[in-house]
Chain A
């Protein structure tokens, strides 16, 4: 049962990558990228989870009662917000590419080569 917790992040990672590799639209591709990203969050939170433990917030239950790992949560929560702005940066790039090239299909957007 325990290793089943890793199946979900692995699945999200693989399906997201599949989407990136086969994508024919850059905005769709960036959407797939967010799926890959979410897989890392699920992984980190699964790693810190403990059966039967509460949230690491001792406002309504006393200090000393079992709680899940606060460190992974701290790592993930900032990264989610920051990841969103990085995604926004990618979208901005895609938009500029579209302005110049009139297409967002990766297959038709090859950099010029010698």
Chain B
């Protein structure tokens, strides 16, 4: 009986995975092994939910907004709406680097310690906010043009499917691991998991970045064409 108080009929699936996961897949984080190997197909679906939600939000906001917005913040009762102050700007710059490194660490050690493409991607995506807070809207938009973000996100999403299809091309079932498993405990281990993790992290982080860009665009003045 589990602590949750449910009269459990069998615990076999979870026990099997905890018992054999590490020796079978050469990774120590069973959650990641479940996510990206045993039940990788679910994760593929989840990644596409995220992808679809972001496309949907972009479609909604970009088509409802005029074609162009300026870099000037919008106003409420003649006062520009301040979203960042000097102190915040100063603090954000060093935080940006730290957060990015931490996010990448979380992505790359997924099969070993807690972390993975989803969490790391969310952290990296949020780090782009620090870019805005630290360097301002204009720089931020120059570093991350939408024309680049969209294809990169699509690449992240598509790469997962392609990994699955590659297995089929090799004659194995969809999403079967093709790479050597490596040494348990090293960063490059557990077969394709690190690669898929990076793909997911790309899709998630650009997804969040696109959302932030689109949302902040909503707070800009429409481009009247009289300045700049």
Contacts and interface: CB of A to CB of B under 8 A. Distances in A.
Given A2-B4, A71-B14, A78-B118, A57 B57 contact: no
Interface in B1-59: 1-6, 11, 13-14, 17-19, 21-23, 28-35, 39, 42-43, 46, 49-50, 53-54, 56-57
Contacts of B53: 82, 85-86, 88-89
Nearest to B113: A59
B31 A86 contact: no
Interface residues of B, number: 52
Interface string B198-228: 0000001001100100110010000000000
Give the dominant DSSP class at A's interface: helix
A18 interface: no
A77 B116 contact: yes
B60 interface: yes
Contact of A57 (B5, B60, B114, B214): B114
A93 interface: yes
Contact of B119 (A75, A81, A88, A91): A81
Give the dominant DSSP class at B's interface: helix
A58 B30 contact: yes
A2 B57 contact: no
B56 A56 contact: no
A2 B3 CA distance: 6
Interface string B174-199: 00000000000100000000000000
Contact of A5 (B4, B64, B119): B4
Contacts of A112: none
A99 to B, nearest CB: 7
Contacts of A5: 3-5
A96 interface: yes
Interface string A80-108: 11101110110111011001000000000
Interface of B: 1-6, 11, 13-14, 17-19, 21-23, 28-35, 39, 42-43, 46, 49-50, 53-54, 56-57, 60-61, 64, 112-114, 116, 118-119, 121-122, 185, 204, 207-208, 211, 214-215, 218
Nearest first, the 5 A-B pairs at minimum CB distance are A2-B5, A85-B53, A74-B34, A70-B30, A56-B30
Given A80-B118, A86-B53, A92-B61, 11 more contacts: A4-B5, A47-B4, A57-B29, A57-B113, A63-B18, A63-B23, A70-B34, A71-B14, A81-B121, A88-B57, A96-B64
